[in-house]
Amino acid sequence: MMKGKKLLIGITASIAAYKIALLIRILKKAGAEVQVIMTPSAFEFIPPLTLATLSEKPVLSEFVKDQTGTWNNHVDLGLWADLMLIAPASANTLAKMAHGLCDNLLLATYLSARCPVAIAPAMDLDMYAHPTTQQNLQTLQSFGHLLIDAEVGPLASGLEGKGRMAEPEHIFRFLEQYFTPGRQELSGKKVLITAGPTREYIDPVRYISNGSTGKMGFALAKEFAANGADVTVVCGPTEATPPSSEWAEIIPVTTAHEMYEATLQKFEKTDIAVFTAAVSDYTPKQIAPEKIKKDSPEMNIKLVKSKDIAKEMGLRKQTGQLTIGFALETQNEEENARGKLQKKNLDFVVLNSLRDQGAGFGYDTNQITIIDSQGTHKFELKSKDKVAKDIVTYAIACWKRKEA
């Protein structure tokens, strides 16, 4: 996907510049050719020798190379690249780009570039939220530029919020998806997946849980990402290998309440939500502060209902959002699954039956039935990777119907 691709990386004055060294290393390992251009102020944040060594090309910053008059041709640079990435993109550089200012080699190359341009902003949260910055980002997107949006987390100021440059692995995943031919039907769409079990603790060492491995959710994450989506997985505790951080954001949780809170935080800006997690229906009303001793032949635990995450998100569902539920049933399978379709305001339900050999928890295979307002659609027993392809294909068709 990235092999042979020519990338111009423009680095501006931001503490996040140190992360670009790792990005260049990842890109080079994937076979890309990288040319770095830095603004003069960016030199204060990362030494050009590091970047030149990793990219295997001299870092460019000035129009004129030396006193002989040899110059760095910004026009040729703009014609050479398959894509220009500005990362980190400071508020100052964003403003100059949006208004056509040109006072350094990076900006001259940007104005000359005929290739697609991607932007990864980085700044403090109040600078990022400022109306002028948001307006500049909207202006640049109106030019057709790609936005690799800032992420939420701790900032150099000591504050915490949105403004962190996307992690190098996330930027690489974005670029890899961009250059993947013919599989970008969900490009720019945000997909949220819940996966795995939850644990509801009785005391510090004992808990109520189930046999979910999260494998189906992880296979879906990989397939959605392969179709260009920006994927987030809210994952309960499991020994299965989670999706690579290069193409999915992983939010680890333990309890049903933690999964609900993490899902709620992401849901509003999600285009497609897939609820594959086996969330505990009940949780102990009280958790013993110390390990419970075997002092009695019986022990009674009072349980209370936990949040029904799919139902709660269904109540918050906005026009245009697509929500997909899972149902694992042992009797009256289709009837129970169709009931969830209505009760939880889902677009379709993926039904698993424990009556089907090779389906359910712990297997690498699955056999599903998709139920929606159009009817019932049965599939054969397949590997979970192939099942994920079936589900994502169906989701894309539903998404297209919503957009039509």
Active site residues: 210
Radius of gyration of the chain (CA): 25
281 is in an annotated binding site: yes
The backbone torsions φ and ψ at residue 154, rounded to the nearest 5 degrees and listed phi first, read: -65, 140
DSSP 3-state of 327: strand
Q: Measured between alpha carbons, how far is 339 from 150 in angstroms, rounded to an integer?
A: 39
Q: Measured between alpha carbons, how far is 70 from 64 in angstroms, rounded to an integer?
A: 6
In which residue are the tokens 């192939």 written?
A: 386
Q: For residue 177, what are its two tokens?
A: 């998806």
Q: Measured between alpha carbons, how far is 169 from 88 in angstroms, rounded to an integer?
A: 14
340 is in an annotated binding site: yes
Q: Measured between alpha carbons, how far is 83 from 4 in angstroms, rounded to an integer?
A: 12
The answer to whether residues 209 and 247 touch, using CB atoms and an 8 Å cutoff, is: no
DSSP 3-state of 78: helix
382 is in an annotated binding site: no
Question: Residue 135 CB: number of other CB atoms within 10 A?
Answer: 13
The answer to whether residues 159 and 125 touch, using CB atoms and an 8 Å cutoff, is: yes
Amino acid type, 241: T
189 is in an annotated binding site: no
Q: For residue 183, what are its two tokens?
A: 């599989």
In which residue are the tokens 């022990």 written?
A: 299
DSSP state of 8: E
361 is in an annotated binding site: no
CA neighbor of 13 nearest in space, from 107, 99, 79: 107
CA distances (Å), 312 to each of 192, 212, 260, 403, in order? 15, 21, 9, 24
Q: Measured between alpha carbons, how far is 34 from 378 in angstroms, rounded to an integer?
A: 48
DSSP 3-state of 232: strand
Q: Which residues are annotated as a binding site for CTP?
A: 281, 291, 326, 340, 344
Q: Which residues are annotated as a binding site?
A: 281, 291, 326, 340, 344
